[in-house]
Amino acid sequence: MVTFNELIHSGRLVLVDFFATWCGPCKMMPPILKELKNSVGDKATIIKIDVDKNPEVARQFQIQGVPTLILFRNGKVLWRQSGVVPAANLKQVIEQHA
């Protein structure tokens, strides 16, 4: 199994959704991410990280609020935003960096 660090340090674009199970706005993200995946296909890998189950990763990236979305490539943060982001906006961000 590929680790989180291996994944974000790969040459691929990786969009990470930092979320919590108790967070209301976070519950709005799965259908948005599904729509995004359908529209960007293999341009980006999309993963979800539960901040309560992965506190060290949340600390590493200073996640203060959830949901927080971060786009990585080669371990670098290319883009970051907190809150619910519409699929169309996420698609634009991915295409800017693809």
d(CA 10, CA 53): 23
Catalytic pick from 4, 10, 12, 23? 23
Tell me the C-alpha distance between 66 and 48, whole Å.
Answer: 11
- Measured at the CA of 50, the angle between CA 15 and CA 11, to 5 degrees, comes to 25
- Are residues 95 and 43 in contact, defined by beta-carbon separation less than 8 angstroms? yes
Tell me which of 15, 16, 26, 40 is the catalytic residue.
26
Residues 51/83, Cβ–Cβ less than 8 Å: no
Q: Verify whether residue 23 is a known catalytic residue.
A: yes
What single-letter amino acid sits at 34?
Answer: K
Question: Which active-site residues does the annotation give?
Answer: 23, 26
